[in-house]
Amino acid sequence: MLQLTKQEIQTRLKQYRWYHTIEVAEGVFTESHVPHFKEMWDFNLTRLASIDFRGKRVLDIGCRDGLFSFLAEKRGAREVIGIDNDLSNGAVEFLIPLFRSGVSMREMNLYDLSPATLGKFDIILFFGVLYHLRYPFWGLKRIIDCLADRGSLLIESGMLVAKHLQNREILYCPVERSPYSEPSSCTFFNELGLAVTLRSLNVKIEEVATFLPEGMASTIIQTKQVPEALAWCRQRARIFLKPFRRKPQPSMDIARQFLICRKDETLQQSDVFVYPGAAFAKHWATSYWDSTHTEHSRKKS
């Protein structure tokens, strides 16, 4: 690390606007402008405990100030590249030199990713970005094209967890009514929808965990501890108002989930899409989606 006193470090930190909370010296942290996200970042760090970064080439998409990039380097990654479409000046100008880090950060949109520009990676971190994608299928393809076979894709995203939709392959895209109250949060897969999308791109989901903020359980308990008199009033009100109520709309519940996925290129040749009366090889569908074809113009045999 650079030879700076704590006071000098604190002074330098104040020159930048920070997203992540990162310890830069004993008891000295970057001051995040979204501190309420720290609990979620800690959840991600817990899920990363089982990931072996040693000797791996790692890409951190949406790296911001580098919380997860620096972790991967600290855990033995051979090379770490972070990309973001709004590069962190604080990380590039101060943290990387301060830590004497080999992490490389680049301002890049993920749609510009390709093996030709950055090569392939053993591990790709994709945290807090998927639900922002306006073109999610193309974005996922660009990412997976840069993932080595048997490589790990680690996703954390806002996901549709509505129980009444869990057996349907869903992509919820509320651009004008986002549950996060801003239009860039417009792409919410449910688990099954993301699973079949990834399988079509030769990636399997191996593990899923759902983030439950602290206090959620206690909030549920508190709502059950309704005084008896208040419960009696609510019951009578429901009976009286029932004829006048419209049928409630099904909820579109959103929660953050962490998914560990693995690329398996053998799926390209082995998988088929099965429909009543017909089965279609995956490579047939891929050629239909990704290139020209003669499906409609070929002569009958």
- Across residues 268-297, what is the average pLDDT? 83
What does the pLDDT read at residue 226? 39
| 98, burial (CB in 10 Å: exposed 0-12, middle 13-18, buried 19+) | middle
CB contact set of 194 (below 8 Å; sequence gap of 6+)? 155, 159, 205, 259
What does the pLDDT read at residue 232? 45
Length of the chain: 301
Lowest mean pLDDT: which of 94-108, 242-256, 281-295?
Answer: 242-256
- Across residues 29-40, what is the average pLDDT? 96
- Across residues 12-34, what is the average pLDDT? 97
Lowest mean pLDDT: which of 77-86, 201-210, 254-263, 286-295?
Answer: 286-295
Give the residue with greater pLDDT, 176 vs 238.
Answer: 176
Spatial separation of the C-alpha atoms in residues 6 and 16, rounded to whole Å:
16
Spatial separation of the C-alpha atoms in residues 19 and 105, rounded to whole Å:
15
Closest CA to 117 of 129, 132, 106, 103: 106
- Residue 203 domain-assigned (yes or no): yes
Q: Which domain holds residue 111?
A: 6-215+252-266
Does the pLDDT value for residue 236 go beyond 90? no
- Across residues 198-204, what is the average pLDDT? 96
- Across residues 190-216, what is the average pLDDT? 90
- Across residues 1-17, what is the average pLDDT? 90
- Residue 276 domain-assigned (yes or no): no
DSSP state of 190: B
Spatial separation of the C-alpha atoms in residues 149 and 192, rounded to whole Å:
23
- Residue 261 domain-assigned (yes or no): yes
pLDDT class of 28 with cuts at 50, 70, 90: very high
What does the pLDDT read at residue 40? 95
The angle formed by the CA atoms of residues 234, 237 and 242, to the nearest 5 degrees, is 125
- Residue 104 domain-assigned (yes or no): yes
Does the pLDDT value for residue 37 go beyond 90? yes
pTM: 0.86
Count of beta carbons in the 10 Å neighbourhood of residue 63: 27
- Residue 282 domain-assigned (yes or no): no
Q: What is the CATH number of the domain that holds 30?
A: 3.40.50.150
115 Ramachandran zone, left/alpha/beta (phi>0; psi -120 to 50): alpha
- Residue 83 domain-assigned (yes or no): yes
Spatial separation of the C-alpha atoms in residues 150 and 122, rounded to whole Å:
8
Spatial separation of the C-alpha atoms in residues 92 and 41, rounded to whole Å:
21
Does the pLDDT value for residue 41 go beyond 60? yes
Q: What is the DSSP string of 106-125?
A: EE--GGG--HHHH--EEEEE
pLDDT class of 118 with cuts at 50, 70, 90: very high
- Across residues 132-155, what is the average pLDDT? 97
Q: For residue range 148-188, list pLDDT tens digits in order.
A: 999 999 999 999 999 999 999 999 999 999 999 999 999 99
Half-sphere exposure for 71 (CA within 13 Å, toward CB): 23
What does the pLDDT read at residue 238? 55
- Residue 284 domain-assigned (yes or no): no
Q: For residue range 48-103, list pLDDT tens digits in order.
A: 999 999 999 999 999 999 999 999 999 999 999 999 999 999 999 999 999 999 99
What does the pLDDT read at residue 220? 29
Q: For residue range 245-265, list pLDDT tens digits in order.
A: 565 666 889 999 999 999 999
Tally of domains in the chain: 1
